A and B are shown apart, each in its own frame.
Chain A
Amino acid sequence: MSNTTIRTGLIDAINQLMRLSDVCSDPNQSFELGIKIRELFQKLDRVIVTTLTDTTPEFEQALVALDQLTIQATEALDDATKIAATINKAGEVVGKVEKLVVGVAGVLAIL
């Protein structure tokens, strides 16, 4: 199923961001991380009930960006100076996944 890779990418990224949020001591960054986690979760909800087209460049770009986000979040766990860049990357990923699910109406979900 074509949504599997994006789904696992989102799950990995959210898991790492949750770990990062748990150790983040800056209230503002923690707030921003919370928002990004929420937005990524919303994309995950959508991906689960959607069949995605996996042959587009956008699909590949979203996959790559998700992997990069997970790596950045992992690095930020040991280096707090990387948290801001991770938050920005999360915003970019949200946009890329949104491109995949936008316009895929509910009628196509889980089909």
Chain B
Amino acid sequence: MKKIIIGALSVVIISGCASNPSNQVSAFAQSSHAITEQVDAVLTEFNSASLERKFTSIAANYKGDHAKKFNFDVLDAINTAVTPAQQTQLAIYRANQSLGQYAAALAALANADVQTDVDAASTELYGALTSFNSQYQTIKGDDVELFNQQEVATIQAAITAIGSEIVEQRRRKAIKSIILAAKDNINLVCDVIISQLNSAGIADGIALSRKFILANQIKEYRVISAKNSSKLIPRTKEVRRLWNLQQGMLNSTALVEQSTKGISEIKAAHATLADEVANDEFSSIAIANAIGRLQQINNHFKDLEISMTAGE
């Protein structure tokens, strides 16, 4: 709690010092973008655990009399659970990417200094909206667009209205239009991502792969430690490493839970932002608190990452 308050205060101070009143929008967008990148890391971890499991499985299996069976064909059979090409086809991946793109576009618009910055933000935002529509249709299995033509036109008109000279008033009006037009749809997209994260069983897959790796390393430890020549200090070091691996395995669920929490927090923060800008408040304690919570999630992700890679 103390960290949240300090984080929120920091944001207020930073925002207060900045010349650009849209700075809190930018801070929200950057924190949200960082969370969507961490959610991508769940899929990366799923792949990584699967691949490491395959290496361990083959190394554990092709030994003794069976070692001579190890050949090119065995190596050929090793592949990632989800190839990079397949990953880009996953609706959850794309929906999350679109959410990140939307956040990045908002940040770019909030920070735009010249017309070319606005144009770049506009392009990115249009790409995010198009992608949202495509993923939503795929997930729902129908032709209903998430952002209808009128909503897209409203957003585009708001950006165009900023004009060639960046005037803070017009920029704020554009940001307000975008956030309000996107409010309900961002909620829907976040709900879909959360639902998919919860139901796909990715955490189970990561945890079981890690358990398999650990089980084989424990087996190997037994073999080495059974020798009379084995020494206490190296054995202790190895036990510590195995314990760290076990902690990483136990944290597999936490990684997915944290991702779910992160997306929920983006949804809540965006709703707060929408409520505030609806009243022409672009810098407030409520927004600062929401950003503080997003930053907390990002910090927790970093802790988890350290915990999960310990012992590797």
For chain B, what secondary structure do more than half of its interface residues adopt (helix, strand, loop), or is it mixed? Answer: helix
Which of B10-18, B61-69, B245-253, B262-270 lies at the interface with chain A? B61-69
Q: Is the interface of A mostly helix, strand, loop or mixed?
A: helix
> Contact between B57 and A45 (Cβ–Cβ < 8 Å)?
no
Give chain B nearest CB distance to A48 CB in angstroms. Answer: 5
Contacts of A45 in B (CB 8 A): 50, 81-82, 205
Residue interface mask A1-39, B partner, CB < 8 A = 1: 101100110010011001000100001000100110110
Asked if B20 CB lies within 8 Å of chain A CBs, one says: no
Chain B residue nearest to A34 (CB atoms) is: B61
Whole-angstrom distance between the Cβ of B74 and the nearest chain A Cβ: 10
Question: Are B82 and A106 in contact, CB atoms less than 8 angstroms apart?
Answer: yes
User: Contacts A11-B204, A45-B50, A48-B200; is A109 near B86 (CB within 8 Å)?
Assistant: yes
Q: How far is the CB of B217 from chain A (nearest CB, A)?
A: 12
Chain A binder among B207-215, B233-241, B271-279: B207-215
Contact B215 A38 (CB under 8 A): no
| Distance between A21 CB and nearest chain B CB, rounded to angstroms | 8
A38 and B77 CA atoms in complex are apart in Å by 11
Q: Given contacts A38-B61, A111-B139, is CB(A48)–CB(B46) below 8 Å?
A: yes
B219 proximal to A (CB < 8 A): yes
Cβ-based interface call for A71 (8 A):
no
Contact at A107–B89, with CB atoms within 8 Å?
Answer: yes
Task: Give the CA-CA distance A73 to B139 in the complex, in Å.
Answer: 38
B54 within 8 A of A: yes
Chain A: residues with Cβ within 8 Å of the partner, total of 28
In the assembled complex, which residues on chain B have CB atoms less than 8 Å from the CB atom of A11? 204, 208
Q: How far is the CA of A4 from the CA of B195 in the complex (A)?
A: 13
Contact A34 B90 (CB under 8 A): no
**Do B54 and A4 touch across chains, with their CB atoms under 8 A apart?**
no
Contact A106:B208 (CB < 8 A) given known A3-B201, A41-B57, A45-B81: no
Chain B nearest Cβ from A90, distance in angstroms:
14
Give the CA-CA distance A106 to B87 in the complex, in Å: 8
Does B91 belong to the interface (CB within 8 Å)? Answer: yes
Judge if B39 is at the interface, Cβ distance under 8 Å: no
Checking A31, A38, A47 against B66 with a beta-carbon cut-off of 8 angstroms, the contacting residue is: A31
- Assess whether A49 is in contact with B54, with CB atoms less than 8 Å apart: no
**In angstroms, how far is the closest chain B Cβ from the Cβ of A110?**
5
Q: Flag if A110 contacts B53 (CB, 8 Å).
A: no
Within 8 A of B (CB), among A93-111: 106-107, 109-111
With A34-B60, A106-B86 in contact, do A14 and B219 touch (Cβ < 8 Å)?
no
Does residue A44 face the partner (Cβ distance < 8 Å to B)? yes
Kindly provide the distance from the CB of A88 to the nearest chain B CB, expressed in whole angstroms. Answer: 18
CB-nearest residue of chain B to A35: B61
In the bound complex, residues from chain A placing their C-beta under 8 Å from that of B205 are 44-45, 48
Q: Is B138 an interface residue (CB 8 A)?
A: yes
Minimum CB distance partner of A46 in chain B? B81
Residue interface mask A46-82, B partner, CB < 8 A = 1 = 1111000000000000000000000000000000000
Q: Which residues of A contact B200 (CB under 8 A)?
A: 1, 3, 48-49, 110
Q: Is B71 an interface residue (CB 8 A)?
A: no
Q: Which B residues lie within 8 Å of A46 (CB)?
A: 81
Q: Evaluate contact between B66 and A110: CB separation under 8 angstroms.
A: no
- Asked whether, in the complex, the Cβ of B215 is within 8 Å of the Cβ of A18, the reply is yes
Interface residues of B in 191-243 (CB under 8 A from A): 196, 199-202, 204-205, 208-209, 211-212, 215, 219
List 24 interface pairs A-B (beta carbons < 8 Å), by A numbering. Answer: A1-B199, A1-B200, A3-B201, A7-B201, A11-B208, A18-B211, A27-B65, A38-B54, A38-B58, A38-B61, A41-B50, A45-B81, A49-B82, A49-B86, A49-B200, A106-B86, A106-B90, A109-B89, A109-B91, A110-B91, A110-B93, A110-B200, A111-B90, A111-B139
